[in-house]
Structure 1
């Protein structure tokens, strides 16, 4: 039995029969294993939505931009984006640690309608280009700066970094993350028409195909796509600290419970291990990417479903650590 088949059997048992389509990557001291189940002819190169794991990518891009001298450590949003005065003074570092006081979502009278359409028919609730996103910020004011998860915060962080580099966010992912690491399947579609052949379709809990989350505004907070093959390379680079912007992985502030946060990435106890991780969810995918640096192992698991993969991924990571 091949290593890849062994991995898929193990993951299938952990996920259960309700997950019919998924991709998985495992990095360990002995090497990497990848597999894709139900992903079509593209197999381990079939791309899937990473959802909020994209925030971790954005955190790396932010730290990389600081290292390049494009963004100051104490930069504020107003240095790079034209925003209402109430938002211009927010530090990028606060966005990266979810301590900006920004709400989870941008404003707009149609927020509830969009949420209903997502749950009712699977329509993508994030439809704006960047000017459209910025236009929804009138009346948004920061609240308390205790840790509070914000999609809006990471949308603005990513677009601020892109503005500082004079490069669209999608191109920034391509040139500064995918290119240096040799990730051939990792990209950011800014419309459904940009999905590549072999892209896995998103599906809701009932198994029905829904709209992909592919547009400019949401890209830094949830728009990156990747494959099992590429995720294995990313995990290795995270473990080896050769990923651009690796400093994003280092926890710098408290988040919730025993968790601490770096630039998007959380670090804390999972199944009695210390894991650096992020998960994600879109209208038709659930994802988890995490590394256990103490044992030199990492796991990425993405399913075309709205059923969580967190528990299965954490157990797979723990079992991999037990074997080292």
Structure 2
């Protein structure tokens, strides 16, 4: 198990140099063989952030783990695990969901995504909040498009709940039983509502510093509803690098995904200066996140920010610096 130390001064100095003045509350972790360093800016190390679409990477791990346990096959259809028989979406396979090739839209039109986006911009409202029954109602009316690479939040929502169905549990419980408890991730969870936020849960802001509502909801959890502290993310990164994370084969790319990219179960691999970098980022109304791995060098980096301004470039740069040092 990778040892995690906190409050690293050099890392804190790097963190304070995040692009622009907006990132006043942030945290970072650098994981190298056998150790991990963490630092916080404007918050304690136990505070938890919304990790956004890095949640998809976690769902990818659960997908690969379910295959390893024999609970599902890549060709398993949604209708075999969720009450979607007789609908177009019921024919979609789990593998196509895990690689964003299902033909599903990013969000269903019945969820009124434009109206929700406007409410987010104007009032900071959470555009997600459905429970599982509402998600399934939306799914029954969706038409499938051509099965080509197309990033789909909706698809990963359905994938996560299908995996929970295969294990006869809920997504939040599946996350706890197969990821957070085995890896000791005390501050990593999927709240179904604001009343389930834990003490120390941060509230994010827009790039201009305006408060944003928390993105909680049973339906959205597998695609973007997980919260975690920097320490929990450091431990997860260490387990991904040393191969002890459940479902770690999710990192292995199996299909092309856009120019120069390949995808596994959610996780994207690109070539940067002759090195394979496996990564995922995340964004919610008030948070941004990035997790990247150089698996050959055994180095990983995590950046979490409670401001909705991208940290991707900083994450890639920090990983490159520590990869070279390693």
TM range (shorter): over 0.9
Q: Which residue of 1 aligns with 2:12?
A: 8
**8 Å contact 1:211–1:283 — kept in the other structure?**
yes
Q: Which residue of 2 aligns with 1:36?
A: 40
Flag as ranges the 4+ runs of structure 1 deviating above 2 A: 14-17, 269-273
Query: What is the CA–CA distance in structure 1 between the aligned matches of 2:162 and 2:215, rounded to whole Å?
Result: 21
The Cα shift of 1:8 comes to: 1.1
Q: Which residue of 1 aligns with 2:3?
A: none
1:239 is paired with a residue whose SS is helix
**8 Å contact 2:15–2:41 — kept in the other structure?**
no
Count of aligned positions: 320
1:207 is paired with a residue whose SS is coil
What is the correspondence of 1:162-311 to structure 2 with a 5 Å cutoff? 162-270=164-272, 273-311=275-313
Query: What is the CA–CA distance in structure 1 between the aligned matches of 2:24 and 2:274, rounded to whole Å?
Result: 29
**1:320 to 2:322 alignment:** yes
Query: What is the CA–CA distance in structure 1 between the aligned matches of 2:14 and 2:53, rounded to whole Å?
Result: 25
Deviation per CA, 1:85-120: give whole Å up to 9, x if none. Answer: 211111100000000010000231632211100111
Give me the TM-score of the superposition, normalised by structure 1: 0.96
The Cα shift of 1:268 comes to: 0.8
1:108 is paired with a residue whose SS is helix
Deviation per CA, 1:182-226: give whole Å up to 9, x if none. Answer: 111011100011111111111111212211111101000001111
Unaligned runs of 5+ in 2: 1-5
RMSD across aligned C-alpha pairs, in angstroms? 1.4
- Judged with a 3 Å threshold, the aligned counterparts in structure 2 of structure 1 residues 217 and 144 are, in CA distance, closer, same or farther, namely same
Deviation per CA, 1:48-67: give whole Å up to 9, x if none. Answer: 00100000000100111111
Query: What is the CA–CA distance in structure 1 between the aligned matches of 2:304 and 2:45, rounded to whole Å?
Result: 12
Of the structure 1 ranges 214-223 and 80-89, higher mean CA displacement relative to structure 2 is found in: 80-89
Query: What is the CA–CA distance in structure 2 between the aligned matches of 1:7 and 1:63, rounded to whole Å?
Result: 33
**8 Å contact 1:271–1:314 — kept in the other structure?**
no
The Cα shift of 1:271 comes to: 5.6
Query: What is the CA–CA distance in structure 2 between the aligned matches of 1:49 and 1:3, rounded to whole Å?
Result: 21
Query: What is the CA–CA distance in structure 2 between the aligned matches of 1:63 and 1:238, rounded to whole Å?
Result: 13
Deviation per CA, 1:129-153: give whole Å up to 9, x if none. Answer: 0001111124311111110000000
Q: Which residue of 2 aligns with 1:120?
A: 122
1:57 is paired with a residue whose SS is helix
Unaligned runs of 5+ in 1: none
Q: Which residue of 1 aligns with 2:81?
A: 80
Of the structure 1 ranges 218-227 and 28-37, higher mean CA displacement relative to structure 2 is found in: 28-37
Q: Which residue of 2 aligns with 1:56?
A: 57
**8 Å contact 1:185–1:230 — kept in the other structure?**
yes
Of the structure 1 ranges 281-290 and 136-145, higher mean CA displacement relative to structure 2 is found in: 136-145
Query: What is the CA–CA distance in structure 1 between the aligned matches of 2:32 and 2:271, rounded to whole Å?
Result: 19
Query: What is the CA–CA distance in structure 1 between the aligned matches of 2:213 and 2:272, rounded to whole Å?
Result: 32
Query: What is the CA–CA distance in structure 1 between the aligned matches of 2:15 and 2:315, rounded to whole Å?
Result: 8
State which of 96, 109, 112 in structure 2 corresponds to 1:110.
112
**8 Å contact 2:275–2:294 — kept in the other structure?**
yes
**8 Å contact 1:204–1:283 — kept in the other structure?**
yes
The Cα shift of 1:270 comes to: 3.8
1:137 is paired with a residue whose SS is helix
**1:158 to 2:156 alignment:** no
